[in-house]
Chain A
Amino acid sequence: MSKNIIKPTLLYILISGIVLLVIIPLLYLTTVSFSNSLEINSFPKKIVPSFSETILVKYDDESELYLIQRRTPRGDVEDIYLFSDFEKASKYLKDYLNIFASKEKLETDFSAAKTSSEAIELKYKKKMFNNYIKFFQVFQGADTALYNSVKAAIYTILISAIFGGFVGYALARTKIKGKEAVSMATLVVRMFPIVSISVPMAVLLIKYGMFDTMLGISIIYSIPNIGLTAWITRSIFLSVNKELEEASMVFGATKMQTFFKITFPLVIPAFAASSMYAFITAWNDTAVALLLTDRNQTLALLIYKSIGTSSSMHYAASGAILLILPALVFTFLLKNYINKIWG
């Protein structure tokens, strides 16, 4: 009897342990991305993001100055800002605490401190996505980088689908010889480190006038993806009912018409899957973009370069979250193809 309880309990403890191991780092990353400039420098850091910030305000009659204080995670009180000008105070709270309060609001809120001998406690809502907006201001060219990432992904999708689709069709539907050789070749191509190819590629791209362009790096991203698209589409072309195509031709459709009206709609899911894979390759890459671009960086590359800027790590964390989200969505959509995309 007791054995029946112990085993599942242990299993659940183990499973929760694994889940926590995966979740906790990600939770901290998310929290940092919502942190204000004071939280990012405090220790120990919070696991879950806080939605508001409590400040203490004191007024000194002699100097006629307000003092803003804050409780540290350890429970001490630290002075953070001394001021007389509410305009500047409003700006300070916005820049360092992600609190958006107008000068007038602060004046009325803080007036209670004048009459009180003790510090008064005030709670303000944090503007949660402020870091995400700041990310684009702090890191110059982040918006262009985002645009470039999308552009590179789209080029990669198109190149892979067009070149790979033809091969997939040929492998499934025609009696070409050397199918083995083709499948072997695609595997060998995938084995070659893409960074190794990028170095000599730089010279070629300069020659072709494609260095530092998104088209240039998309070509590299397409190298493993064309083979993969060929594989995914091949299996789908094999499964499309041939009789359906023959029937269409019996009714007088040309082979072209048959292909575009019957076969193609049926294989769209395969192209969707390989497009998502192509998107992930382009979106997640840093190395190729680093070697083959100069001024036109991608979002992943910008995040990579942001590592040196220790004072704005919370903005970098927001950028990292922005980078993660699309990759996450597409990976989940692709999970049926996990064996192939993984590597």
Chain B
Amino acid sequence: MNNQLSKKNIFKSPYLLLGPALLFYLMFWFFPVILSLIQSFTATTGEFSFINYQRMFSSPDFPKAFLNTITFAFVSLILQFVIALGLALLVNKNFKGSKLFLFIMLIPMALPQSAIGILWNLGLQQTGWINSFMQKIGLQSLLESMKIINGRIIWKDVSGMKAVFMLILIDTWTVTPSVMIIMLAGLQNFNNEYKEAAQVFGATKFQALKDVVIPIIKPSLITALLLRLISGLQVWLIGVMIFGFERTPFLLERIVYYSNKLRTEESYKVAVSYSVFTLIVVLVSAIIFVKLFKGKDWREE
């Protein structure tokens, strides 16, 4: 019986099942990654050279792009973590309408990036909805009477780090609700008696939070924040949709700029170098993050 079955078994070797996916990743993931490595080290003439990296590192936009990307990823991560944790702890009660509340909180994370770009672009114009709203609730006249502003604010008239921080705020609007939802899910599984026990033994509220609550919701948190960090390092679209190219350079923005805007063979090579560099930045950041925050079983979640 058993023998007969195994003869009919078309999935004879279990490794065969992994075959198609393995082949797919070899062809469309591993091969391009290797190809980009090779291409980044070859000049347009075809011989081995560091010229592409030289071009990348010596371009004045490179340090800006690198700094902006790192700043964006880490500041937004910390900001979103703190705000989301605060909100989650406050809201962690079964209040009337909590289901509807969570439903609404899900909306921003569902929005496609380019729609978010349109949304905030409409807001940041001088006659956009942000200024309209300030006018309607009287904030405009209040600030004007206090001589803080003079006329409508030209939101897009910022550059450098200020512009990066504006993008961080937009990103925070987009993803904080979802970070909060993940934390709430963790908190809801969490038995409040632990916290109370800690407080009985003399822990302050803050200590109980730090030593009891956070460690318990940590596993779901780490994965979520890791993915957040990785996508934070991949910021570019919102910057381009609000400020255009070059105002707020990011690593990925440079990739798109060199490969899609310039479209020469030389610029393509620089784009490939940026690709390799970004890969390294993402991997190194992810490894550091995991090393810092998680023990040995960080893959389980």
Contact = CB atoms under 8 A, between A and B. Distances in A.
Interface of A: 8, 11-12, 14-15, 18-19, 21-26, 28-29, 32, 41-45, 47, 159, 162-164, 166-167, 169-170, 174-176, 180, 182-185, 187, 189-197, 199-204, 219-220, 222-223, 226, 230, 249, 254-256, 280, 283-287, 290-291, 300-301, 303-304, 306-307, 313, 316-317, 319-321, 323-324, 327-328, 330-332, 335, 338-339, 342-343
Contacts of A323: 112, 114-115
Given A19-B101, A25-B119, A29-B122, A331 B110 contact: yes
Contact of A199 (B15, B110, B227, B275): B275
A324 B115 CA distance: 7
A306 B18 CA distance: 42
A307 B118 CA distance: 7
Interface stretch (B52-60, B131-139, B160-168): B131-139
A342 B109 contact: yes
User: 5 tightest CB-CB pairs across the interface, nearest first?
Assistant: A343-B227, A174-B14, A331-B110, A44-B132, A170-B17
B208 interface: no
6 contacts: A21-B173, A45-B132, A164-B21, A167-B18, A176-B15, A338-B185
B133 A28 contact: yes
Given A189-B29, A323-B115, A324-B111, A255 B10 contact: yes
B237 A304 contact: yes
A196 B35 contact: no
Interface string B1-45: 000010011110011011111001100110111011001000000
A291 B20 CA distance: 26
Which bucket holds chain B's interface residue count? Answer: 35 or more
Contacts of A202: 259
Contacts of A192: 29, 33, 279, 282
Interface in B245-277: 252, 255-256, 259-260, 268, 271-272, 275-276
Nearest to B233: A193
Contact of A256 (B10, B33, B135, B276): B10
A291 B256 contact: yes
A200 B36 CA distance: 5
B5 A255 contact: yes
B286 interface: yes
A17 B212 CA distance: 29
B17 A343 contact: no
Contacts of A204: 28, 31-32, 35
A189 B110 contact: no
B117 A44 contact: no
A303 B118 contact: yes
A280 B127 CA distance: 33
Contact of B25 (A43, A189, A287, A303): A189
Given A25-B173, A195-B234, A197-B32, 13 more contacts: A11-B93, A29-B119, A41-B127, A166-B20, A195-B275, A199-B272, A200-B33, A203-B39, A300-B114, A303-B114, A307-B117, A327-B112, A339-B224
A23 B103 CA distance: 12
A284 B113 contact: yes
A18 B177 CA distance: 9
A169 B18 CA distance: 9
Given A18-B87, A184-B299, A220 B119 contact: no
